Structure 1
Amino acid sequence: MHYLVALWDGGGTVPVEIGVVRRLLARGHTATVLADPTLAPDVADTGAEFRSWTRAPHRTSQAPGDDVIKDWECRTPVALLNRLCERIITGPAAAYAADVREALRERRAHAVIASGPVLGALVGAESMGLPTVALCANIYNRPVPGIPPFGSGLGPARGPLGRARDRAMNALAARLWNRNIAPLNAARAELGLEPLREIWEQWDRAALVLVLTSPAFDLPAELPGNVRYVGPVLDDPVWSGPPAVPEGYEPLVVVGLSSTYMRQADVLRRIVAALRRLPVRAVVTTGPAIDPAEIPGTEKVQVVRSAPHAQLFPLADVVITHAGHGTLIKALAAGVPALCLPMGRDQGDNVVRAARHGAVIGLKPSAGPDQIAAAVRRLLEDPSFRRNAEALGGRIRADADSTALLDALEDLPRDDAPHGRLASA
C-alpha cells in the first residue's frame, strides 16, 4: 500500500510519527510524507518520499522565531488553545486541505495518515473519499468522560464531586474549542462536505484514531469506537548524537527537556547546579533549541546538544525531564524513575499518569537547586521508585513491541479507485 502521511513539526511528536513511517516502509509499504521543510532530513532517513507544505503553515528552520506556535508567548491555557486553533488546528484548515489534495492528485494513495491536530489534512483526504487515520502521538487528548481536560494537569476524578468537576471542565473545554470551528467548517463547505457540530468531530470521520502510548500509562476513559491504543513508538530523533557518559562509578542521571524552545535554559542551569551538589555523574541534553554553551557543566556533568535516549536510559539511575510524553515514556520503558518539571502542554498530565504508578516525583519548573537535589536523592535512595518504574516499564515495552500499530494500518479499507477519480476530485 502507498500512504500519504501529513505531519507538522510539533517537536516531541516528530520522532514518534516519523517512527510510524519507518515501520510502514520496513513492512514493504511506500509513503509520501507531506511536512515542514525542517523534517526533510528525518523523512530522508526513513527512505520515504518528502514533499513540503506550500500553502499551509510550516517551519523552515529550528530557530525559535520560526516556530509556528510560539507557545511561550501564551500566558494562559485559553490563550494557548486559541493559538493552536488559529495556527494549526482550524485556522489554516483550507490551506492544509489544498496541499493534501494537490499531493493526492500527483500521486495516488490508498489512505491518508495525519498528525491529529492537523484537521485540515483530514478534511482534504475526506473530500477525496480516502480512508483517513489521525495520529495521537501522546496521551489521548480529546475531551471525553473519564479524563480531565487535556493540559489541565489534574488527576483522575475521585467520587461524585470529582466526576462532576470533570463533566463541567470538559464541557467548558469543548465550548472553548468550538469557538474556533468556523474556519474548519468553511474549509469543509468549500469542498462540499457537511458542517461539523464540534471541532473534534473531524476525528469521528476518520477510519481510525491511533493513540501512540500504552493504555497502562494513560487514564481509563469512555472512548469513541474508532480509537485504538497501539503502543508507544520509542524511536530517538535522527539528530541524536553519540552518547557521552562521564567516567566513574557514581549513579548516572540523564537530563532531557523539550526539543523545542520553552525558555528552558534557566531550568537547565538550576538542574546542573543541583547535580553538582550530589555524588552523581550526569549527561544533560539541551536539544536543538538551546546552545550547550549556555549551560556550563563540570567534569562529572557533561552538557551536550543531543544524545540517544535509547542507549543512555538503560544505563541511568534517574532521568530528569520536563515530562514530555516521548522522553518520559522512554524513561519508564527502560524501568528508570524520573524527576519531572512540567513546563506546559501535556506535561502536567503525563506527570499525573506516571505518579499513579509511583514511578516519578513531580516538582514545579521554578524549583530551586536544593529542591531538585533533594528529589534526585530521594529517587536514588528509595528503591520503590525503581521497582514501580520497572513494573510499569514491562507493560509499556510489551505494547511497544506489539504489531498493533501496523495491523491497524494494514487493515484499513483499500481505496483502489482509478487515478481519474482522484485527479478530478
Structure 2
Amino acid sequence: MPASAPQHYLFALTDGGGTVPPEIGVVRRLVDRGHRVRVLAETSMEQSVRAVGAEFVPWQPGPAAHGAPPGAAAYRDGETRDPWTLARGMADHMIAGPALGQARRLRSVAAVQRPDLVVTSFVAFGAMAAADAAELSFDVLIPNIYPIPAAGLPPMGTGWKPARTGLGRLRDRVVGRASTAMLGRFALPRLNEVRAELGTPPLRVLWDQVHRARRQFLLTSRSFDFPGELPSSVRYAGPVLDDPVWARADEWREPGGRGPLVLVALSSTDQGQRRCVQNVVDALARLDVRGLVTTGPALDPRELRGGDRVEIVRSAPHREVIDRADLVITHGGHGTVLKALVAGRPLVVLPHGRDQPGNAVRVSARGAGLVVRRTASASTIATAVTTVLSTRCYAEAARRLGRSIRAEIDRSPLVDELESL
C-alpha cells in the first residue's frame, strides 16, 4: 500500500529498446503501491504497459497499428561513426523531431485530468516542455549512467577513464562542450519553437530543459559509476532490473554437455550487430563451454550459424539465466551489465556505441571483466573468454561489486521520492 493517499502519475515514455524494461519497472512499482498511473507511450510499448496494470495512452491520438515500431527505430546509429551524423540523427528521431507532437499530446491529456506528477524519459523533451508550460512538476528517468557532461565524469560514449591530470580534465570539458554544442545545433532551434508555441522562454543550453526537472533519477548504482559533480536534483536510485515482457521462459533450454555456461546478450535494438554475434558464436564453438545466445527482436536466430554446444534463441529471461551462467558476453547495455554484476558474474564486453563504452570501462576499471572491440575476431574473443573464466580475480571482483549494488537496490529512495509530492 502507498505511504499516503493514492496519487495520479502521468508517465511520458519513449521506446529506447533497453530503456523500456527499467522505465516500465518504475511504473509497476507505483501501481503495486496502489497509485493510478497513466502512461503516454508508443504502441510498441502497449503490451508492456498493460502487463503491469497501468493505463496505456498512445502518443498518437488516432488509430495506430498495434505494436508499431517507434520513431526512434529510424535512428540507425550502428551504421556510422561520424559524430555529426549521429548528432543529427539523435536530434531528428529522439529529441527534437518528436517534441512538438509530445508537447501537444501531453498538454491535451493532462488538461482532461491533471496529474499530481509527470515522469518522463530522458529524451522526451517535448513532454518536459509541456509540463513546464502547464506548471506541472516533472521528474526524469535516466536508466543508465549520467549522459550530461559533468565535472569528474568522462564524456558519454568515449569509453575513457576519469581524468587524473589537469590536461585530462581540460580534454573532458572541451569534448563535453563540443558534444553539447553539436547536438544543440540540430535540436535547440526546434525545441525553442515548441517552447514558443507553449508560451515559455527559450532554452539557452539544450540540457537546461532536463535541469528544470524536480528530480533526475539515475537508475544505476553509485558503486558502479565513477564519481562526478552532479546537479543537486540528481538521485542515484539503484538499477531497476525487470526483464522485458517479450523475454519468454519457454523459448530457451540450457545447453547440454559439460563446461561453463556462457550467456551471450547483445543489443535488443538494431546496432548492426549480426557479424559481431556470429564472431562470438564462432568463438564459443572453439572452446569447451556451453553457450546460450539471445538475439532479441532485432536479429533473427536463423541468420546465425550455431554449434553443437551453442543454443541460439530469440529471448530468455536474463535474470533467470544469469543465475546459472558462469560468464556473460554483452555489448555493454546497462541493463545486462548490471544484471550480471548483481548476480556476481564476470563479463566480456564488446561495446557498440551510445552509453556502452562508458559501461564497459566501468566494468574493466573494477576488474569485473574484459573489454574487446566489437570488430574483434573469433580468436580474440575466445582468448578473452578463456582469460576471464580461468582467472579467479574477475569473478571475485564481480561478486564484490554485486554485493554493493544489491545493497543500493535494497535501500533505493526511488518510490518514496516519487510519492513525496
Map 1:248-327 → 2, pairs under 5 A? 248-327=257-336
**CA distance in structure 2 between the partners assigned to 1:279 and 1:17 by the alignment:** 38
| 1:200 and 2:207 are equivalent in the alignment | yes
**CA distance in structure 2 between the partners assigned to 1:23 and 1:402 by the alignment:** 14
Between stretches 83-92 and 95-104, larger displacement belongs to: 83-92
**Which residue identity lines up with residue 40 of structure 1 in the other structure?**
E
Give the structure-1-normalised TM-score. 0.93
**CA distance in structure 1 between the partners assigned to 2:86 and 2:72 by the alignment:** 17
Contact 1:93 1:121 in 2 (8 A): yes
Q: What residue is the counterpart of 1:30 in the other structure?
A: 36
**CA distance in structure 1 between the partners assigned to 2:360 and 2:79 by the alignment:** 23
Over the matched positions of the two proteins, sequence identity in percent amounts to: 45
Q: What residue is the counterpart of 1:349 in the other structure?
A: 358
State the secondary structure of the residue aligned to 1:315.
coil
Contact 1:340 1:362 in 2 (8 A): yes
**CA distance in structure 2 between the partners assigned to 1:322 and 1:162 by the alignment:** 27
Shift of 1:298: 2.7
Shift of 1:90: 2.2
Runs of 4+ in 1 over 6 A off after TM superposition: 62-66
Shift of 1:55: 7.4
State the secondary structure of the residue aligned to 1:181.
helix
Shift of 1:73: 3.8
1:88-113 deviation per Cα after TM superposition (whole angstroms, max 9, x unaligned): 21233221111111111233211100
Contact 2:15 2:70 in 1 (8 A): no
**CA distance in structure 1 between the partners assigned to 2:55 and 2:198 by the alignment:** 27
Aligned residues: 411
Q: What residue is the counterpart of 2:73 in the other structure?
A: 67
**CA distance in structure 2 between the partners assigned to 1:92 and 1:335 by the alignment:** 39
Shift of 1:63: 6.5
Map 1:205-216 → 2, pairs under 5 A? 205-216=212-223
Contact 1:288 1:305 in 2 (8 A): yes
Relative distance call for 1:62 and 1:77 in structure 2 (3 A) is farther
State the secondary structure of the residue aligned to 2:298.
coil
State the secondary structure of the residue aligned to 2:17.
coil
Between stretches 30-39 and 80-89, larger displacement belongs to: 80-89
Give the structure-2-normalised TM-score. 0.94
Between stretches 376-385 and 168-177, larger displacement belongs to: 168-177
**CA distance in structure 2 between the partners assigned to 1:334 and 1:9 by the alignment:** 27
Relative distance call for 1:402 and 1:78 in structure 2 (3 A) is farther
Among 347, 354, 374, the residue aligned to 1:365? 374
| 1:49 and 2:58 are equivalent in the alignment | no
Among 94, 104, 114, the residue aligned to 1:98? 104
**Which residue identity lines up with residue 16 of structure 2 in the other structure?**
G
| 1:87 and 2:87 are equivalent in the alignment | no
| 1:385 and 2:394 are equivalent in the alignment | yes
| 1:141 and 2:147 are equivalent in the alignment | yes
Contact 2:45 2:67 in 1 (8 A): no
**CA distance in structure 2 between the partners assigned to 1:94 and 1:55 by the alignment:** 14
State the secondary structure of the residue aligned to 1:18.
helix
**CA distance in structure 1 between the partners assigned to 2:85 and 2:176 by the alignment:** 17
Map 1:138-177 → 2, pairs under 5 A? 138-177=144-183
Gaps spanning 5+ residues in structure 2: where?
1-6
**Which residue identity lines up with residue 137 of structure 1 in the other structure?**
P
Among 110, 114, 118, the residue aligned to 2:124? 118
**CA distance in structure 1 between the partners assigned to 2:72 and 2:166 by the alignment:** 46
Among 40, 44, 58, the residue aligned to 2:46? 40
Between stretches 180-189 and 63-72, larger displacement belongs to: 63-72
CA RMSD of aligned residues (A): 1.8
Gaps spanning 5+ residues in structure 1: where?
413-425
Relative distance call for 1:137 and 1:236 in structure 2 (3 A) is same
**Which residue identity lines up with residue 228 of structure 1 in the other structure?**
R
Contact 1:181 1:199 in 2 (8 A): yes
**Which residue identity lines up with residue 229 of structure 2 in the other structure?**
E
Q: What residue is the counterpart of 2:240 in the other structure?
A: 233
Relative distance call for 1:68 and 1:61 in structure 2 (3 A) is farther
**CA distance in structure 2 between the partners assigned to 1:6 and 1:398 by the alignment:** 29
Contact 2:285 2:308 in 1 (8 A): no
| 1:397 and 2:406 are equivalent in the alignment | yes
Shift of 1:75: 3.5
**Which residue identity lines up with residue 15 of structure 1 in the other structure?**
P
